[in-house]
Amino acid sequence: MNVIEMLNRDRLMVLARGVRKDVLVKGVGAIADAGVTVFESTFDHRREDCVAENAGKIAALVKEFGSGMAIGAGTVLSVDEVRAAHDAGATFIVSPDSDPEVIAETKRLGMASIPGAMTPTEIKRAHALGADIVKLFPADDLGYHYIQNLKGPMPHIPLMATGGVNPDTIPEFLSRGIMAVGTGITIFRPDLVEAEDYEGIKKLAKDHIEAILATDN
C-alpha cells in the first residue's frame, strides 16, 4: 500500500520539526504503536545543515519503521532537498508551496507529491503539475466554509488540511470534503518532547485517530 492509499484509508499524517533524532525515533515509535501510518520529517531551514540533518533523520526512521509506515519529507523547498530525501528513503514530498521544479523532480523520482496551495488557481495548478494530493495551507485561516466552497467546483482534487488540526477540528475538516489532515504540534507537543514523554505523545496520537474514526463512523 502506498502513501496515498494509506492517507485515503487512515486520513492522518503526523509531522515533526526540530526534534532531536534519538527523541524523534522513539516518538515515531510511540505514534506507530498508536496506529499512525504516515509520518513526515520536515526540513528545518533555520539550520545551516538542514538538508543533511533531515536526511539523517529520514534514513533512521526508514530503517526503523519503513516496513510498516510511510516516511516522507516536509517543508521541501528545493530540488536538492527532494533528492536528499529520496536518497534517504523517503516515499513522499510535502511542501508549503507549489514549486513546479520540486513537483517535477518528486514525480521523476517516483515519490508521491503533496504540495501546498491556498487559492482555487493555485490548487488547480498544483494538481495539473502532478500533485497526488494538494495540501490546503493554512487551513485554519481559510476556514471550513472556504473548504466547502472549494469542493463544489473541484471535487476531483484530493485535499489535505494542515494548520489548526486537532481532535476538536478534525470532524469539521473531514465533513467538508477534506481527504486527510496533517498535524505536528498537537501530537509532538513541545513540553512532551522536552520531557521525552512518549506515552503522552502516544495518547495524543490516539486522540486524533479516535476523532477520525468517530467522524468516519
The pLDDT assigned to 1 comes to 83
pTM for the predicted model, two decimal places: 0.97
Q: How many CB atoms lie within 10 A of CB 159?
A: 24
Question: How many structural domains compose the chain?
Answer: 1
Structure confidence by residue, pLDDT tens digits, 148-182: 999 999 999 999 999 999 999 999 999 999 999 99
Residue ranges making up the domain that contains 102:
3-216
What are the residue ranges of helices labelled H in 152-197? 170-175, 190-195
The pLDDT assigned to 80 comes to 98
The set of cell numbers assigned to 9 is: 484509508
Alpha-carbon distance values, 50 to 18, 64, 90, 116, 159 (Å): 10, 21, 16, 20, 28
Query: Where does residue 195 rank: exposed (0-12), middle (13-18), buried (19+ CB within 10 A)?
Result: exposed
Structure confidence by residue, pLDDT tens digits, 13-71: 999 999 999 999 999 999 999 999 999 999 999 999 999 999 999 999 999 998 899 99
Q: How many CB atoms lie within 10 A of CB 208?
A: 24
Cα maximum dimension of the chain: 46
CA 13 to chain centre: 4
125: CATH: 3.20.20.70
The pLDDT assigned to 153 comes to 95
C-alpha span between 153 and 161 (Å, rounded): 18
What are the residue ranges of helices labelled H in 11-78? 21-34, 50-65
| Type and span of the H or E element at 108 | helix 100-108
C-alpha span between 49 and 202 (Å, rounded): 29
